[in-house]
Chains A and B, each alone.
Chain A
Amino acid sequence: MSMIVRVKQRQIAQLMSKGKRLDGRGLNDYREIKVEMGVIEKAEGSARVLLGKTEVMVGVKVQVGEPFSDTPNEGVLTVNAELVPLASPSFEPGPPGENAIELARVVDRGLREAKTINIEKLCLEPGKKVIVVFIDVYVLNHDGNLIDASAIAALAALVNTKMPKYEVEDGQVKVKSSYTPLPVQNYPIAVTFAKINDKLAVDPWLEEEQVMDARLTIAFEKDGKICAIQKGGTGYFTTEQISEVAKMAKEKASEIRKLVVKE
């Protein structure tokens, strides 16, 4: 099994140095992306994204809770990711390892720094009661580029989220019967490039990830500002490569945003 993989890995690297990819894509082409929203009725919001064969589901649960002590007027946004064992032979059951943690934190960063949700609008009673938004990323099949797929799914799930109307009456939080969408005000998109044999290729699939030197993820909010960056892997980038990736990623982010937000 691993012998076949190694031969293929060499093939991938060799093709890449000629600017070609095994699946015929261009260096700046994403795999096919499918976004489905509202797939889990019991969740306040949900989405399922297929990026090539990578499959990620995100569920959003909304609850009333306490604010953090240093931000008494803000709601809480929290992102968790699970690499469930059925998604890949390399995922083992147990608490989130460093890969799951990194995935969650990078998706979180993109959403948070873009101020995707107006968290001040989530305050019910300052210092006492706020709305807590739980974003749970569930990777169902790992075929590469979990970050981008998870970020798209998380954004789509938030856009899809309808939460009950909360009102504070006599110090008690009452749940009204109508629903209201989450106050989403920005649409960050993450774009990941892999570096293989000094070539930069967007949206690496699993076997490209196994060969790559390093990856660079850049997230853009709707007005074209960068809101998160994460370099991963044990290789490196030069400043020229970083600039190249940033420029291309900005273009790609705008294209992909259209799949989630019908402007």
Chain B
Amino acid sequence: MPKAEEKLIDKEGLRIDGRKTNELRATKIGVGVLGNADGSAYIEQGKNKILAGVYGPHEVHPKHLALPDRSLLRCRYHMAPFSVEERKSPAPSRREHEISKVIRESLEPAIFLEYYPRTSIDLFIEVLQADGGTRCAGVTAASLALADAGIPMRDLIVACASGKIEGQLAVDLSDAEDKKGEADVPVALMPNLNAITLLQMDGQLTLEEFEKAIELSLEGCKQLYALQKEALKSKYATVKEEVEE
């Protein structure tokens, strides 16, 4: 935790963790990590540790929620009580409800829900350790969990936040940077159509700053997109290498 007087960006333009303003935190992604879920993925981004699991498409419970012409996507974003500095109550907070909603709305455009009427696809995102930008990392992992479950999609969805710290725009804010910073802009992208499916902002930005912040977030998204694809292929690529010597 930075002390009150400690600056977020030093004289050389480096942040507390040594990053430049346009650098993402170190990111590791794994796919197919859970035994029972139909699809799953795990992401570590900086100190964030987030797990995503998918069940479905399967019968809707309760039945009366079933839609006649498409599958029902349900999403639960939840933080573990030990994921943050001060223990968080396991009961879903209003913040978790809102985030569950915006994450669901960010993924829906990519999924061919109309292929599976009268079913539901249930997506669970568990934040095991949180350090800022968890909804974006959650979206990035959730998208992979859906692909891992064999659910057909138009494209992967990838997300990255940027913000303003000490007057400068920076990508992928950590929790300390978000708390002390002037603005936070999470963005989710469906790259092929250049479609932004999640967009929020809090803080204060001029119109110009906002447009630049989106650009920064999109650049971060593109880097993470490449990591997503690698993660999906890696299981198969490794097997192929090992076996075809």
A231 touches B199 (CB 8 A): yes
B109 touches A234 (CB 8 A): yes
Contact of A109 among B94, B199, B202 (CB under 8 A): B202
Q: Does A201 contact B (CB under 8 A)?
A: no
Contact of B193 among A225, A234, A236, A250 (CB under 8 A): A236
The interface bits of chain B over 188-208 (1 if a CB of A lies within 8 angstroms of the residue's CB, else 0) are: 001001111111111111110
B100 partner residues in chain A, CB cutoff 8 A: 98
- Using A98-B101, A225-B205, A227-B203 as known contacts, say yes or no to A236 and B210 having CB atoms under 8 A apart: no
A98 partner residues in chain B, CB cutoff 8 A: 97-98, 100-101
A238 touches B194 (CB 8 A): yes
Give complex CA distance A246, B211 in Å: 9
Give complex CA distance A221, B182 in Å: 14
Q: Does B141 contact A (CB under 8 A)?
A: no
The interface bits of chain A over 188-231 (1 if a CB of B lies within 8 angstroms of the residue's CB, else 0) are: 00000000000000000000000000101000010011111111
Q: How many A-B residue pairs have CB under 8 A?
A: 94
A228 partner residues in chain B, CB cutoff 8 A: 201-202
The interface bits of chain A over 99-116 (1 if a CB of B lies within 8 angstroms of the residue's CB, else 0) are: 001101100010011100
Q: Does A243 contact B (CB under 8 A)?
A: yes
A109 partner residues in chain B, CB cutoff 8 A: 202
Give complex CA distance A113, B204 in Å: 7
B211 partner residues in chain A, CB cutoff 8 A: 239, 243, 246
Within residues 89 to 116 of chain B, which ones have a CB less than 8 A from any CB in chain A?
94-95, 97-98, 100-102, 104-105, 108-109
Give complex CA distance A79, B215 in Å: 32
Name the prevailing secondary structure of the A interface residues. Answer: mixed
A104 touches B94 (CB 8 A): yes
B102 partner residues in chain A, CB cutoff 8 A: 102, 230-232
B206 touches A101 (CB 8 A): no
A236 touches B195 (CB 8 A): yes
A226 touches B204 (CB 8 A): yes
Give complex CA distance A147, B145 in Å: 33
Chain B min CB distance to A159 (Å): 20
A216 touches B199 (CB 8 A): yes
A102 touches B101 (CB 8 A): yes
Chain A min CB distance to B229 (Å): 20
Chain A min CB distance to B69 (Å): 12
B185 partner residues in chain A, CB cutoff 8 A: 229
B195 touches A237 (CB 8 A): yes
Which residue of B has the minimal Cβ distance to A239?
Answer: B214
Give complex CA distance A170, B14 in Å: 49
B105 touches A233 (CB 8 A): yes
Contact of A225 among B108, B196, B206 (CB under 8 A): B206
A242 touches B196 (CB 8 A): yes
Give complex CA distance A112, B198 in Å: 21
Give complex CA distance A247, B205 in Å: 13
B200 touches A231 (CB 8 A): yes
Chain B min CB distance to A117 (Å): 15
Give complex CA distance A232, B103 in Å: 10
A234 touches B105 (CB 8 A): yes
Which residue of B has the minimal Cβ distance to A221?
Answer: B204
Which residue of A has the minimal Cβ distance to B108?
Answer: A234
Q: Does A26 contact B (CB under 8 A)?
A: no
Q: Does A85 contact B (CB under 8 A)?
A: no
A113 touches B203 (CB 8 A): yes
A221 partner residues in chain B, CB cutoff 8 A: 204
Q: Does B218 contact A (CB under 8 A)?
A: yes
B210 partner residues in chain A, CB cutoff 8 A: 226, 229, 246
- Using A238-B194, A246-B210 as known contacts, say yes or no to A105 and B98 having CB atoms under 8 A apart: yes
Give complex CA distance A236, B195 in Å: 6
Q: Does A235 contact B (CB under 8 A)?
A: yes
A226 touches B98 (CB 8 A): no
Chain A min CB distance to B186 (Å): 10
A242 touches B204 (CB 8 A): no
B194 partner residues in chain A, CB cutoff 8 A: 238-239
Give complex CA distance A104, B95 in Å: 11
Jot down 29 A-B pairs with beta carbons below 8 A, ordered by A.
Answer: A98-B101, A101-B97, A101-B101, A102-B101, A105-B95, A105-B98, A112-B202, A113-B202, A114-B204, A224-B207, A226-B201, A226-B210, A228-B201, A229-B199, A230-B199, A231-B196, A233-B105, A236-B109, A236-B196, A238-B196, A239-B194, A239-B196, A239-B215, A239-B218, A242-B214, A243-B211, A246-B211, A247-B207, A250-B207
Q: Which 9 pairs of residues, A with B, have the shortest CB-CB distance?
A: A229-B201, A236-B195, A231-B199, A234-B108, A236-B197, A98-B101, A225-B204, A101-B97, A101-B94
